[in-house]
C-alpha cells in the first residue's frame, strides 16, 4: 500500500505488527517506545523527512498515557504535585526542544547520529538497571510496591477496592519541600529539582521525537526514590503533557503527518498495550530489559558510527 504523505510503500499488516511490538515494550518496560517508533519509521519503513518522523513517533507514545492516566488516578497512583511540576517544566522544555530540533535537526544526516548517541546512552542505562547493584538499591521501593500490591489484592478479593484511597498516595506537605506517604512509606523531594528535570527531559525528548520515559523513570526511581507503582502514573501524566505540547509545536512549524500510516500503527500499539498488561507478569522483567538493552545498543551504533565512516 502506498502512503503519499509519508512517501513510502508499506504493508498495513506489518505496520500493525510493529505497533504491537512498540506497545508491548513501552507498557512492560516503561521506556523506549518512542525510540523503537523512530527506528521503525526511519530504518524499517524508510521515511525520509525527519520533521515528520518526530511528531509521528510521539503520537505513538501517547497511547499508553491516554489509556493509563485515568486508571492511575482511580488507583491513587499519581503524585499530583510532582506531575504538575514535571508538566510545567515539560511544557517549556517541549517548546524549546521541538523548536531547536525543527531547524537544527531537520535532515536525516544530522538527526540520525543525534538519535544514535542518545540511544546508546539509554542502552547503557538499561544495562545498569539489570545489575545486582541497582536491584539491591531498590529494596525500599520494592517493599512499598509489594505492600501496595498485596493490599490491593486483599481489597479486591473482599470487594472493597474503593478503600484503596487509604493506602494510595497521601500528601503530607507541598511547596518547595514536598512529602507524601504511599503504602505506609514516606517519601520527600524538592520541587525545584523536579521542575528542572522535567524541563531538561522534555528538551531532549522533544528534539528526538520521543516520550521521555527513558529519562523520567530512572530519575524518579533512582534519584527521587519513588516506587514504580507511582512512578508509572506520575511520569505518564507528565509525558502526556510534554509530548502533546511538542507535537502541536511541530505541526505549527509546518511538520506534516500521514494519518493513514499512523492509524495502522496506533491500532497495533493499542493491541500491544493490552497484551503487555495481561502477559508482562509472566515474563521476567530483567530478561526483557536485557534484550531491549542489547537491541538499543546495536541501534545506537548503527546510527552513530556512520559519522566516522563505519557502517554496520
Per the listing, cell 551504533 goes with: 301
Q: Is residue 5 part of a domain?
A: no
The pLDDT, as a whole number, for residue 162 is: 53
For the stretch 56-95, pLDDT in tens is 999 998 887 887 778 777 767 778 888 888 999 999 999 9
Q: Which residue has the higher pLDDT, 143 or 132?
A: 132
Q: Which three cell numbers stand for residue 132?
A: 545486582
The 8 Å CB, 24+ separation contacts for 295-299 are 295/123, 296/32, 296/35, 296/119, 296/120, 296/122, 296/123, 296/126, 297/120, 297/123, 297/124, 297/127, 299/35, 299/39, 299/116, 299/119
Buried b / exposed e along 139-167 (16+ C-beta atoms within 10 A):
eebeebbebbeebbeebeeeeeeeebeeb
Q: Is residue 6 part of a domain?
A: no
Q: Which residue has the higher pLDDT, 209 or 233?
A: 209
- What phi and psi values does residue 6 have, to the nearest 5 degrees? -75, -25
**pLDDT of 237 above 70:** yes
Contact 5, 251 (CB under 8 A): no
What average pLDDT does range 96-116 have in this prediction?
95
Closest CA to 12 of 260, 292, 279, 276: 260
Q: In this structure, how many other beta carbons lie within 10 angstroms of the beta carbon of residue 131?
A: 11
The pLDDT, as a whole number, for residue 252 is: 96
Q: Is residue 1 part of a domain?
A: no
Q: Is residue 124 part of a domain?
A: yes
Q: Is residue 3 part of a domain?
A: no
For the stretch 275-287, pLDDT in tens is 876 766 566 667 7
Per the listing, cell 508491548 goes with: 24
Question: Which pLDDT band holds residue 253 (cuts at 50, 70, 90)?
Answer: very high
Task: Tell me the residue range of the domain where 24 lies.
Answer: 12-308
Interatomic CA distance for residues 83 and 140, integer angstroms? 22
Instruction: Give 125's Cβ-side CA count (13 Å radius).
Output: 19
Instruction: Give 102's Cβ-side CA count (13 Å radius).
Output: 19
What average pLDDT does range 104-127 have in this prediction?
92
Closest CA to 160 of 168, 147, 151, 169: 151
What average pLDDT does range 200-228 have in this prediction?
87
Q: Which of 12-16, 193-197, 283-287 has the lowest mean pLDDT?
A: 283-287
Q: Is residue 156 part of a domain?
A: yes
Helix (H) or strand (E) holding 122: helix 108-129
3-class DSSP state for residue 296?
helix
Helix (H) or strand (E) holding 145: helix 139-158
What average pLDDT does range 126-144 have in this prediction?
72
- According to DSSP, residue 221 is labeled I
As a whole number of Å, the end-to-end CA separation of the chain is 29
Question: Which pLDDT band holds residue 143 (cuts at 50, 70, 90)?
Answer: low
Q: Which of 5-9, 103-107, 126-130 has the lowest mean pLDDT?
A: 126-130
- What phi and psi values does residue 159 have, to the nearest 5 degrees? 70, 30
Instruction: Give 207's Cβ-side CA count (13 Å radius).
Output: 23
Kindly report the average pLDDT of the chain as a whole number. Answer: 83
Number of domains in the chain: 1
The pLDDT, as a whole number, for residue 166 is: 47
Q: Is residue 4 part of a domain?
A: no
The pLDDT, as a whole number, for residue 32 is: 76
* Whether pTM exceeds 0.85: no
Q: Is residue 7 part of a domain?
A: no
Q: Percentage of residues in the chain with pLDDT exceeding 90? A: 41
Of 77-91, 148-162, 203-217, 251-265, where does the model show the most confidence?
251-265
Helix (H) or strand (E) holding 114: helix 108-129
Amino acid at each position: 500500500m502506498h502512503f503519499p504523505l509519508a512517501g513510502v510503500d508499506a504493508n498495513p499488516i506489518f505496520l500493525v505488527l510493529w505497533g504491537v511490538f512498540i506497545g508491548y515494550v513501552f507498557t512492560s518496560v516503561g521506556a523506549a517506545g518512542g525510540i523503537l517508533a523512530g527506528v521503525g519509521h526511519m530504518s524499517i519503513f524508510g521515511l525520509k523527512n525527519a520533521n515528520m518522523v518526530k511528531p509521528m513517533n510521539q503520537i505513538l507514545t501517547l497511547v499508553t498515557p491516554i489509556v493509563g492516566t485515568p486508571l492511575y488516578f482511580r488507583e491513587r497512583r499519581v503524585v499530583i504535585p510532582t506531575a504538575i511540576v514535571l508538566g510545567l517544566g515539560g511544557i517549556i522544555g517541549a517548546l524549546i526542544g521541538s523548536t531547536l530540533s525543527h531547524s537544527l535537526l531537520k535532515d536525516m544526516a544530522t538527526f540520525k547520529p543525534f538519535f544514535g548517541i542518545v540511544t546508546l546512552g539509554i542502552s547503557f542505562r538499561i544495562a545498569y538497571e539489570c545489575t545486582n547493584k541497582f536491584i539491591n538499591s531498590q529494596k525500599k521501593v520494592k517493599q512499598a510496591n509489594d505492600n501496595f500490591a498485596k493490599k490491593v489484592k486483599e481489597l479486591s478479593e473482599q470487594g472493597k477496592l474503593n478503600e484503596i484511597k487509604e493506602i494510595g498516595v497521601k500528601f503530607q506537605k507541598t511547596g518547595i519541600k514536598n512529602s507524601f506517604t504511599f503504602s505506609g512509606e514516606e517519601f520527600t523531594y524538592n520541587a525545584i529539582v523536579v521542575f528542572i528535570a522535567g524541563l531538561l527531559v522534555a528538551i531532549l525528548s522533544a528534539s528526538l521525537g520521543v516520550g521521555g520515559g527513558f529519562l523520567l523513570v530512572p530519575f524518579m526511581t533512582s534519584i527521587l526514590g519513588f516506587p514504580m507503582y507511582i512512578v508509572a502514573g506520575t511520569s505518564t501524566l507528565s509525558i502526556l503533557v510534554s509530548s502533546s505540547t511538542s507535537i502541536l509545536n511541530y505541526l505549527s512549524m509546518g511538520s506534516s503527518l500521514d494519518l493513514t500510516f499512523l492509524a495502522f500503527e496506533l491500532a497495533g500499539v493499542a493491541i500491544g498495550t493490552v497484551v503487555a498488561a495481561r502477559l508482562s507478569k509472566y515474563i521476567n522483567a530483567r530478561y526483557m530489559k536485557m534484550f531491549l538493552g542489547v537491541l538499543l545498543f546495536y541501534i545506537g551504533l548503527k546510527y552513530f558510527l556512520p559519522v566516522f565512516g563505519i557502517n554496520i
